[in-house]
Structures are given as C-alpha cells and as structure tokens.
Amino acid sequence: MKTPKLTGLIAAPYVALNADASLNLNAVESQVHSLVASGVSGAFICGTTGEGVSLTTAERMAVATRWCEIAGPELRVIVNVGHTALGECQALAAHAQKIGAFGVSNFAPFFFKPGNTNDLVDFCAGVASAAPALPYYYYQIPSMTGVSLPTADFLRAAQNKIPNLAGVKFTFENLMDFAESTRLEDGRFDIVFGRDEMLVAGLAVGARGAIGSTYNFAAPVYNRILKAFSEGDLLAAQAEQARANAMISVFIRFGGLSAGKSIMRLIGLDCGPVRLPLRSLSEAKENELCTELEKIGFFDFCSVLN
C-alpha cells in the first residue's frame, strides 16, 4: 500500500468528558476547529493522551465516529485501536475503516507481552488485517507498554506480513533506532516522531511528521520549530524548542495528562476531568498551574480556538 507520509503536526487529542466522566462528544467540534486553526494536520485519537485504555470499546467507537464525522479533509484521523485482546483490536480497526478514518494504529499488548519481534508482528498483523484498506502504524511506546523491541527489527519482520504497513508512531527516546527505521528500504516507512520535548532532535535524524499531546494547546511554537528547521535556522529552532520545553516542564510537574486537561480549560476549551485511576487537578492546583504558565509566557504562544 502506497500512502503519502504524514507531515507537520498531528495532535493526540484529549478525550472530552462531562463532569460525571461520561463522554462529551459535543466538544469534539471545538477541538477540531482549534486544531485546524492552529495549523495541525491530523489527530491521533484514543491513544495515551485520549485515555483510550480507560474507555470501553463502545465508547472508543463513539469517539472515533464523532471525530471522523467532524474532521473533514483538513484533518487526518488516525484511530488507536490498541488493546490487550486481539479481538477487541480487530473490532476497533474494522470500525475505523467503516467510518472512514485515515489510518489505524496499535501499541504492543502490555499485560501478557510479546516475547520477541515475531510474536509482536503476528499480533499486529492480526490487527492490521481487520482494516486492510487503511494505512497501519505500529505504536512504539515502551514507557507505557514495557515492550521496547526495536522498531527497525519490527519493520524488517513485518514488511512482508502486513500488506498495509505504513510505518510507526515512535514515542521513545532511542534516536538510533528511529534513524535506522527512517532509512530502511530507502525511506519506505513513515516514522512519525512522538516526543514533543525532542522535536528538533527528531527532525535532525529524519522526522517529517510528529504526533504529540502538547500540540493540542501549543501548536504555534512547534510550527515555528518546523519552519525554522526547514529554513536551516537551527538556532531559531533550538530557541523555540527551549520555549516549548519550559512549558513541558511545568506540564510534567503538575501531573502530565491531568495537567493537560487543565491547560485545555485555561485556553478556553474544556475537555472535562480525567478518569480514575488518574485524578484531576484541584481548583487551587489549577490556579497555581496558570500562574506558572503565565511566568513563562505560555499564553502568548498557545493554540487558538477557531
């Protein structure tokens, strides 16, 4: 399958929830409009940031349906169908194809883990076969799955077993493996970089597209990184990366995903609480977060709403 490579920024959206933690599908329209207005080219839904593993299969299908209904041609929707059960992955993948998603992706099973690359490939081949008309991306995220088998080895073993294999969502710090993966088969595979805090480094070793959570609320600063790098202005790219990393430092210090949902609320796009076992920030903590973001000038470069 010949698929155009993903370029630019692809956001990993937060799942919008009501106060009682039920789905708030009405918020998706505002999320889509904000991403498009901020120069984002795609959405990787129901992944880590989207709390996919905390949603039921029916909820994940409902979220995917809504995103595909609203996104339109300006926003490519890739659906994470990762699950510990192959059958659930396949049901989600088949559904993604039915509703017109751009592509599907899954991470490695993370309870019973694949013991070697061939076992991982066989699992992923089963997932990809349920959506044969869509590009398939393996989702490499060892920090959450505990599976760190090299993606270059995965691609070598999978290229003849997964006809719709497009590439990898690479959320890992191993830049040697990333670079090797981008060079395989004369650059055949689309290796999409997934560490916001290392975007300049990813670009330096071959990244063309990037998927990240902070692109939901700070896309302009990352677009400046992409522009500066493409123009050969490494110093400007590094300066913008430093600005982004000051924000990421605050983001991490206040709880990562939970803080991200608070930041969405602070820019005017309320995605509600997080689901247990995660815990939303208290009002006092959210106010403290806002103060810290003001200190680093975040509201001068945050995403726009529409």
Q: Which residues are catalytic?
A: 139, 169
CA 31 from chain center: how many Å? Answer: 14
